[in-house]
Amino acid sequence: VELNEDGKISYVREIPEPIFKPGNLTLDLLKAVTAGAEEQILPPYETKTPTDANDIVKYLFNDVQGRSADLVMDFFDERIQYRDFNFEDMLVGKKEVKGFIEDFTFPGLTFRTQRFDDGILSTCFTWEVVVLDAPDTIKGISFYEIDPTTRKVTYVRDVPESGIKPPILGKLARLIRPGLGTFQGVPIGSRPNGM
């Protein structure tokens, strides 16, 4: 949720946890689609040591992304817990997380950041995954939390939207009951025990 200068909501991204977790099928599909993509030449970057959660993720995704996973791992705690909702199981520890990052770093796949909050010990940001030059992207939101003493990332939660658009169950529900996709305001007091 993003507020404008008047304190009113100006932007919301909400992504439900996927019902179907494709796991490594996601990786296999992305690698098949991007097979033969040329290696991207990355621009030079300046080494930094950010200590606030929002500055760490900005640095990792805007400056370091696509480079050595070791650069990323410098910012992760040994006990890192990483939950990507494409997978059933949480990744625990630097070794598992590093392997995951290395797996998803290859030509033809770009994570583009969109909006960051200003969190100090934890932060959220929105992103999209661009596959080659396809016009459609997969949007997502991530939450990062850091240890207040070491300033290392201790927890990550990545929630990508479904790669099937619109999600199958939502599409079926709208076919059976078209009114499900229609939203309108309700008068205050019209719901039992509600406003």
Query: Where in the chain does DSSP place strands (E)?
Result: 2-3, 9-11, 76-84, 91-92, 109-116, 122-131, 138-146, 153-160
- What is the CA 6 to chain-centroid distance, rounded? 28
Report d(CA 33, CA 61) in Å as an integer.
Answer: 23
Token pair, residue 140, equals 């997502």
**What's this model's pTM, rounded to 2 decimal places?**
0.80
> What is the pLDDT at residue 92?
97
Q: What is the pLDDT of residues 79-136, one digit of tens each?
A: 999 999 989 999 999 999 999 999 988 899 888 999 999 999 999 999 998 888 888 8
